[in-house]
Amino acid sequence: MKSKTKLWLGGAALVALISVLALLGLERIGIGPNLGLPFGYYGKFNRVLAHVEANPELEVVRTTLHRDSALEDFYITVRTQEKREVRLRFEGAHTRPLSDLLQELENLNPRDGA
């Protein structure tokens, strides 16, 4: 009886491990769901989005992604404290370093109308 329990536990652990690895693999190539990871297909988007969400003056309203073989462009619509909606455009994101994308956020002043 004890060996059957060990066998079931080992099998369940193996299935769980394979499932997690499959999800991570699919996310890495952009087929799977966005797991919020800072790397992989959605990596730059997730890191930029995290910076936007960390700004207490902005509320994320919606996001738009241009999915292809690479996540080429993405857009984040935010609401400012003045209740205005501003669309942040990150075009050509797949060819630009993350530092350039984050610099755009630093240069952004939501009160100026982006």
Tens of pLDDT, residue by residue, the chain (114 residues): 678 888 888 888 888 888 888 877 766 666 767 888 888 888 999 999 999 999 999 999 999 998 777 788 999 999 999 999 999 999 999 899 999 999 888 877 555 544
pTM for the whole structure = 0.70
What SS3 string covers 49-69? HHHHHCCCCEEEEEEEEECCC
Q: Are 35 and 20 in contact (CB under 8 A)?
A: no
CA of 15: how far to CAs of 39, 77, 103, in Å?
24, 39, 42
Q: Are 77 and 61 in contact (CB under 8 A)?
A: yes
- DSSP 8-state assignment for residue 95: G
